[in-house]
């Protein structure tokens, strides 16, 4: 009996060692794969940043580490009269801030109403909005262009209206977040004498900080990096009345053969574009992740 128990424990010990060994090997391969993927993803970003500090007037930069470091690319891109990068930056920032404020207000108010209130045609509206939201926005850009052209709004104001008009269909994640907040909290506040507006402003909004941050970031980021709608709506208007993405693209395509000489300026502009988004994500990463995960619990 004792020999059998010893053999059993010895066998189980060998199985445990084999299991731990296989697990360690599996973890090593996983970390190697993750390291390779990280290098693949980070390499273009690092290359663009290093290229923005290089001296090159002949074309695309082929070396990874610049032989000569300089800040002239960042200086030249702000001094160019033909391509007023500073105007593009201001235009895009103003549009992004307006969209972040207005779109967040519309989305939060609409999501709260659809989450808490029960009214006729509520479910058909949710189904219709869900189906409508499956179609990409650029499918309607030609129709929107002709509508804005008829109203003489093929400018930055019209572009801002386009971004604001799309806020109504971006409510599903926010609605899912409000659904996770117990209705009993609202009922208790109403019993204590609070109005519906007081419940919304003093109770629900503080609890909904993650989804508010998420909505603001996405609303800010959409016009900041968008190229399709500015290229259609703004068209061949004045160079100073463009956004960053459209302006930089136009700088590279309109110069034809000389476009490669502008490549260091182009990558410098790309780095400048990425800075505000990166800083915002670093500062608000916690709220952003919470808003995404909590808003995906319910539809």
Per-residue pLDDT at 93: 92
Per-residue pLDDT for 98 more than 90?
Answer: yes
Cβ–Cβ < 8 Å for 174, 106: no
pLDDT band at 81 (very low <50, low <70, confident <90, very high): confident
Per-residue pLDDT for 15 more than 60?
Answer: no
Percent of the chain beyond pLDDT 90? 4
pLDDT in tens, 195-209: 888 888 888 888 888
Q: Which domains does the chain have, with CATH numbers?
A: 81-295 (1.10.3720.10)
Cα separation of 161 and 110, whole Å? 18
Mean pLDDT to the nearest integer, 30-56: 84
pLDDT in tens, 278-294: 888 888 776 665 555 55
pLDDT in tens, 243-288: 888 888 887 776 555 556 677 788 888 888 888 888 888 887 766 6
pLDDT in tens, 110-164: 888 888 878 788 888 888 777 777 777 777 778 888 888 888 888 888 889 888 8
Task: Give the Cα-Cα-Cα angle 282, 209, 279 (nearest 5 degrees).
Answer: 15
pLDDT band at 296 (very low <50, low <70, confident <90, very high): very low
How many residues can be counted in the chain?
A: 299
Per-residue pLDDT for 1 more than 70?
Answer: no
- Cβ contacts of 101 within 8 Å, gap of 6 or more: 216
Per-residue pLDDT at 6: 55
Per-residue pLDDT at 299: 41
Q: Which residues pair with 69 in a beta bridge?
A: 54
Q: Of 17-21, 26-30, 80-84, which gets the smallest average pLDDT? A: 17-21
Q: Which residues pair with 247 in a beta bridge?
A: none
Average pLDDT, the chain: 78
Q: What share of the chain is helix, strand, coil (3-state, %, to 5)?
A: 80, 0, 20
Nearest to 215 by CA among 288, 267, 281: 288
Per-residue pLDDT at 135: 73
Per-residue pLDDT for 167 more than 50?
Answer: yes
Kindly list the distances between the CA atom of residue 85 and the CA atoms of 101, 122, 251, in Å, as whole numbers in the listed order.
24, 46, 10
End-to-end Cα, the chain, rounded Å: 61
Per-residue pLDDT at 298: 43
- Cβ contacts of 88 within 8 Å, gap of 6 or more: 242, 243, 244, 246, 247, 248
Kindly list the distances between the CA atom of residue 213 and the CA atoms of 44, 194, 226, 291, in Å, as whole numbers in the listed order.
29, 26, 20, 8
Per-residue pLDDT at 254: 65
| Strands (E) located in 125-211 | none
pLDDT band at 295 (very low <50, low <70, confident <90, very high): very low
Cα separation of 136 and 133, whole Å? 7
Mean pLDDT to the nearest integer, 26-48: 86
Q: Of 54-58, 66-70, 187-191, which gets the smallest average pLDDT? A: 54-58
């Amino acid at each position: 009996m004792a020999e059998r128990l010893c053999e059993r424990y010895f066998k189980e010990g060998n199985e445990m060692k084999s299991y731990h060994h296989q697990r360690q090997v599996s973890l090593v391969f996983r970390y190697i794969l993750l390291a390779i993927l990280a290098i693949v993803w980070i390499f273009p970003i690092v290359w663009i940043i290093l290229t923005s500090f290089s001296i090159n007037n002949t074309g695309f930069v082929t070396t990874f580490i610049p032989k000569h470091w300089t800040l002239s690319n960042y200086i030249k891109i702000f001094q160019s009269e033909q391509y007023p990068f500073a105007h593009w930056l201001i235009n895009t920032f103003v549009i992004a801030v307006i969209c972040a404020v207005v779109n967040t207000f519309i989305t939060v108010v609409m999501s709260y109403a659809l989450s808490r209130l029960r009214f006729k045609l509520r479910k058909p509206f949710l189904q219709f909005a869900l189906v409508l939201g499956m179609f990409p926005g650029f499918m309607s850009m030609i129709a929107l262009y002709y509508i804005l052209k008829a109203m003489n709004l093929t400018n930055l104001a019209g572009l801002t209206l386009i971004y604001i008009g799309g806020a109504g269909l971006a409510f599903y994640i926010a609605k899912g977040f409000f659904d996770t907040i117990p209705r009993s909290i609202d009922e208790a506040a109403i019993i204590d004498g609070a109005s519906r507006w007081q419940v919304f402003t003093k109770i629900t909004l503080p609890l909904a900080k993650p989804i508010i941050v998420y909505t603001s970031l996405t609303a800010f980021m959409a016009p900041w990096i968008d190229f399709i709608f500015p290229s259609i709506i703004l068209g061949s208007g004045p160079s100073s009345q463009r956004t960053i993405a459209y302006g930089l693209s136009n700088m590279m395509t309109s110069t034809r053969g000389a476009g490669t000489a502008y490549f260091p300026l182009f990558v410098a502009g790309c780095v400048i574009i990425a800075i505000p988004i990166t800083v915002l994500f670093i500062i608000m990463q916690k709220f952003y992740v919470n808003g995404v995960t909590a808003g995906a619990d319910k539809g």
